[in-house]
Structure 1
Amino acid sequence: MPTEREKMIAGDRYDPDDPQLVADRRAARDRLALFNRTPVSDERRRADIVSDLFGSVGDGVYLEPPFRCDYGYNVHVGEDFYTNFDCVILDAAPVEFGDDCMLAPGVHVYTATHPLEAAERTAGLEYAKPVTVGDAVWIGGRAVLNPGVTVGDGAVIGSGAVVTEDVPANVVVQGNPAEVVRELE
């Protein structure tokens, strides 16, 4: 029988109040509290905390504090990843960023979601869908990536965009819901 963590990562309905998941979230919050209060000048310690928190980390990764996530172990970032202040990644499912990605202030990435039917939703089970971001993607301030989306290589997500569907490579999207407004070469 799969554990609640295994069900969560697989995208099946899971109990977020499972003791192991609660412990996992608390451990991530402890590491985040340490990261968010570690001086920026202590680059080595900050890098060690991020490497310990995330599932995988490429070279040249930099996060501006404060940064928040649920578990951390489901976050995978490639080379030269940068996130500005106040970013949130709710990583109940895997969140994967390619190389050379930049996140502006206040970007939110969500994987956790809930049943639409009220009776199911109030029963407390939830599920998650992975988010995948390709290489050389720029995500503008206060943009939101919703559960299950994929963003193609070279895409630009405009500030304030709410991404509810997959974004092709080499386009600019903006709006709520986000729509393609320009193709890039």
Structure 2
Amino acid sequence: MLAGKLYVTDRIRAANRELPGQLIVQQINQLPLDQVDQIIALERQLFRGQPETFFVQPPFAVDYGRHITIGENFYCNVDAVFLDTSWITIGNNVKIGPRVNLLTAGHPIDAPTRTRLLEFAQPITIGDNVWLGGNVTVLPGVTIGANSVVGAGAVVTKDIPENVVAVGNPARVLRPITAKDHDDWQAQADAYDRERK
């Protein structure tokens, strides 16, 4: 499965099945939302990588959980689905909006092959400083380059380069992220800081 070859889920050995991760997520999703320390402690048992600061807002779902590596300052909003039948690697300072789907699993296009219950999986990689808007779906085998933004509702079927804004279904590059973007947003952030003083 993790090698990207065809597999049948029911033939995965019991010791390698998805239940342990799903049970941890079930516990997380049943905790009161004000018990953040307990939620984070359980999330530390679930995800690979041990960043100092991160939070995945419940409720969310995983297939396994242990095939997900998260970076520093990761934040994910509610109702995410991490279908991690292959590796999901998430960089530092990544922000994910509500109802985002990271789907590493796929099925053969050929119907007779598909009816044999064969599946495949390909990894998803999300670079540093990426923002995925609400309801984004990322499909198997996709890499999203550092500093890029994927607009709400996009379906990402192919790699997205670094430093761009991508939108649509299928997602396509709308424009590069420029120095003017930096200057405009920095000016607004500086104004906010001055108002708070």
TM over 0.5: yes
Aligned residue for 2:44, secondary structure, equals helix
What code does the residue aligned with 2:119 have?
Answer: E
Shift of the 35–132 alpha-carbon distance from structure 1 to 2, 3 Å rule, reads: same
Q: Aligned equivalents of 1:63 and 1:38: distance in 2?
A: 13
One of 128, 141, 159 as aligned partner of 1:148: 141
Q: Equivalents in 2 of 1:115, 1:33: separation in Å?
A: 30
Count of aligned residue pairs for this structure pair: 178
1:19 CA displacement: 5.0
CA RMSD of aligned residues (A): 1.4
Question: After superposition, what is the alpha-carbon deviation per residue over 1:131-179, rounded to whole angstroms, capped at 9, x for unaligned?
Answer: 0000000000001000000000000000000000100000000000011
Q: The residue matched to 1:126 in structure 2 has which SS?
A: strand
Deviation at 1:22, TM superposition (A): 8.6
User: Tell me, which stretches of 5 or more residues in structure 1 are unaligned?
Assistant: 1-7
Letter matched to residue 70 of structure 2: V
Q: Which amino acid aligns with 1:119?
A: P
Partner residue in 1 for 2:83: 90
Amino acid of the structure 1 residue aligned with 2:121: A
Q: Is residue 14 from structure 1 mapped to residue 41 from structure 2 by the alignment?
A: no
Q: Deviation string for 1:45-66 (max 9, x for gaps)?
A: 2112111111223221101111
- Runs (5+) with no aligned partner, structure 2: 179-197
1:8-157 alignment to 2 at 5 Å? Answer: 8-18=1-11, 20=13, 24-157=17-150
Q: For residues 50 and 81 of structure 2, what CA distance do their matches in structure 1 show? A: 17
Larger Rg: 2
| CA–CA separation in structure 1 for the residues paired with 2:115 and 2:141 | 22
What is the identity percentage for the equivalent residue pairs of Structure 1 and Structure 2?
38
Gap change, CA 1:117 and 1:166, over 3 Å in 2: same
